[in-house]
Amino acid sequence: MSDQALPGDRPDAPAEHAELDGRTPAQKRIGQGSSTEGVRGEERDDFTAAESKRLRGRSLRLLGSLVRPLRWRLVVMALVVVVSTACQVAGPALIAAGIDRALPALMSEQDWAPALLVVGVYLATGVVGAVLMAQYTVLSARISQAILFDLRKRLFLHTQRLSLEFHETYTSGRIISRQTSDLDSIRELLDSGINQLVQGLLYMVFTAVALVSLDAPSGLVLAVALVPLVALTRWFQVRSQRLFRATRVTSARVIVHFVETMTGMRAVQAFRKEARNEVEYAGEVEGNRGANSKVFTLFGTFDPGLVLIGNATLAAVVLFGGFRVIGGTLEIGALLAVALYAKRFFDPAEEMAMFYNSYQSASAALEKISGVLEEQPSVPDPVRPVDLRHARGAVDFDDVEFAYSADAVVLPQFDLHVPAGQTIALVGSTGAGKSTLAKLMSRFYDPTRGAVTLDDVDLRDLHPKDLRRAIVMVTQEAYLFSGSVADNIALGKPDATRQEIERAARAVGAHEFVMALPDGYDTDVAKRGGRVSAGQRQLLSFARAFIADPAVLILDEATASLDIPSERMVQEALQTLLADRTAVIIAHRLSTVAIADRVLVMEHGRVVEDGTPADLIAGTGRFAQLHAAWRDSLV
């Protein structure tokens, strides 16, 4: 595993902000942007050359598509930054002109014109520079916001469109990192990294040009100073890259450990893992502290190094220039301007050295985001969708084979005909393939071979809207979204009236407990007092399915959290509600079987028994044994 997989290497905040909140720039630089990812080796970076070329191409394509709509704004922004930087750099040269030209003219000839001109131009460049600087800040912020908005939206819409297969393999932690720390590192690059690089580069180039054109020999001094500057910066880049990465890895470890402990608190306390956690966590925290202190040491060398080079250069320029002023080959104003330029030249150096770090983490983030965006749904929408407004509900598996991955076939050869309106109980041992069958039936996956059809229409051709209306699956998960109880039930039919919602709740026996909640149907399920139990959640998700009124209803362990009376109540409700629709009920509790027209026993991806409950119970097969054992357990 490599630690480079960690995103969130964020550039420093601008120094002035850092000072505002009382932290040094170095403090701000570390301890930011960690993510729990990478620590478990989910992503790797030991790519081959071809692979990294492909990744870079992918990132560039994404970048191009993001920037293209903004290109004219970028041109305007470039003009603004060039002019504003030129205005800022003009200051010392104007001072030189003031001292060397305007002042003598004023003193010897009482000529005010040059002095007024210099002062006027100085003020004008100051004002224009400041106004354009403000413009630049606003423009660049708008552009970066537009890019981020676009990217965030695309990422969300695309991830939502991807099939279940993607979400079952790409863990939620990783997808959260894409939306948070990855977007953050791109934001940091756009908001400060690139601005600092562009402004810094222009500033340095303009300053150098101004300095050389005022006094070429001083340019030589500056050129000599560039040698240690470049060496120091390079040294800093190489070391900082390694050290920053170490801080991210160690801080991600701390977070992973923390999150795991907190989410698994019940297991931690039940198995008395506290003492071991204490030792482990202390180790992680110590590792993080060590990594951070190395970063401080690095800045402790780099920052004074920059100051030293700057001061030495200034001293050399002044000394060298001073001799020439005495010798009469350099004017005093020019010396002052050259000294100012030499001093200012080094101002952007630190920010530019940091750019590399922020660039690297942003490009890693962009690579990962573009990877998600280029993912195609494994269950694509049909090109020519077939409408099926009113499905009857006949489902067929026609010579179906299915495998999640090439090496493990879950359903080797599957044929099944479910006539419209039939209620099927699907039983079988753990891992037999029952949920897989349900996922194929509701087209969360497509079969590897053969076809699943609804009323003789291949599910792959069915209009997605009709598919989702006709076939509804209720699982054990029973997810509730934040919002009221009524909203959650109405998810199955967004335009449902309060009467319809109540009727659905009554039908599944949820009405009583809903009325007992603080605000009845308007209770917010995310708030205290609105918290419902696992069984109540299942009842609500039942109500949600019934209000959707599908032709085919699949219940995968949907009653597993209910107590026996509630389950019985749901079953009574089911009997009437399933009368005119196709239903597949997967349950380990055999009580469900009573209401089924037909029982399928599945083992290792095959149907091993198929018949009416009465026939199977009367026989000697697997189901008869299961049923006998179950009946014995009841007495």
Nearer to ligand ATP (CB atom), residue 168 or residue 563? 168
Q: Please give, one letter per residue, the 3-state secondary structure of 518-574.
A: CCHHHCECCCCCCCCCHHHHHHHHHHHHHHHCCCEEEEECCCCCCCHHHHHHHHHHH
Residue 411 Cβ, how far from ligand ATP at the closest point, in Å? 9
Residue 404 interaction partner, one of ligand ATP, Mg ion, none, beta carbon < 5-8 Å per kind: ligand ATP
Nearer to Mg ion (CB atom), residue 88 or residue 435? 435
- Residue 221 interacting with ligand ATP (CB under 6 A): no
Site string for ligand ATP, 124-163 (x = CB under 6 A): ----------------------------------------
CB-CB neighbours of 215 under 10 Å: 24
443-482 positions binding ligand ATP, by CB under 6 A: none
The alpha-carbon radius of gyration of the chain (Å, integer) is 35
Select from 182-190, 218-226, 245-253, 428-436 the region that touches ligand ATP (CB under 6 A).
Answer: 428-436
Where are the extended beta strands (E) located within 63-204?
none
Judge contact between 469 and 387, C-beta under 8 A: no
Residue 391 Cβ, how far from Mg ion at the closest point, in Å? 25
The strand pair at 582-586 and 598-603 is best described as unpaired
Residue 633 interaction partner, one of ligand ATP, Mg ion, none, beta carbon < 5-8 Å per kind: none
In terms of Cα–Cα distance, which of 133, 284, 307 is closest to 228? 307
List CB contacts of 544: < 8 A, sequence separation 6 or more.
Answer: 474, 488, 489, 490, 491, 492, 504
Instruction: Report the interface residues with Mg ion, using CB under 5 A.
Output: 435
Residue 1 Cβ, how far from Mg ion at the closest point, in Å? 32
- Residue 233 interacting with ligand ATP (CB under 6 A): no
Residue 441 Cβ, how far from ligand ATP at the closest point, in Å? 12
Alpha-carbon separation of residue 269 from 262, 266, 534 (angstroms):
10, 5, 22
Judge contact between 50 and 89, C-beta under 8 A: no
Select from 204-212, 427-435, 492-500, 547-555 the region that touches ligand ATP (CB under 6 A).
Answer: 427-435
Across the strands, what pairs with 599? 425, 611
- Residue 440 interacting with ligand ATP (CB under 6 A): no
Site string for ligand ATP, 407-426 (x = CB under 6 A): ---x----------------
Residue 476 Cβ, how far from ligand ATP at the closest point, in Å? 9
Q: In what order do the strands lie in the sheet with 582-586?
A: 471-475, 552-556, 582-586, 423-428, 598-603, 606-611
Nearer to ligand ATP (CB atom), residue 349 or residue 432? 432
Judge contact between 60 and 19, C-beta under 8 A: no
- Residue 554 interacting with ligand ATP (CB under 6 A): no
DSSP letter string over 451-495? EEEETTEETTTB-HHHHHHHEEEEETT----SSBHHHHHHTTSTT
- Residue 168 interacting with ligand ATP (CB under 6 A): yes
Task: Single out the residue of 122, 296, 404, 630 in contact with ligand ATP (rule: CB under 6 A).
Answer: 404
Report how far residue 150's alpha carbon sits from residue 199's, in angstroms, rounded to the nearest whole number. 25
Residue 436 interaction partner, one of Mg ion, ligand ATP, none, beta carbon < 5-8 Å per kind: ligand ATP
Helix (H, G, I), strand (E, B) or coil at 346: coil
- Residue 432 interacting with ligand ATP (CB under 6 A): yes
Task: Single out the residue of 41, 57, 304, 431 in contact with ligand ATP (rule: CB under 6 A).
Answer: 431
Closest residue to Mg ion using C-beta atoms: 435
- Measured over the CA atoms of residue 111, residue 115, residue 116 and residue 121, the dihedral's sign is positive
Residue 162 Cβ, how far from ligand ATP at the closest point, in Å? 14
Q: Which residues of the chain form contacts with ligand ATP (CB under 6 A)?
A: 168, 404, 410, 428, 430-436
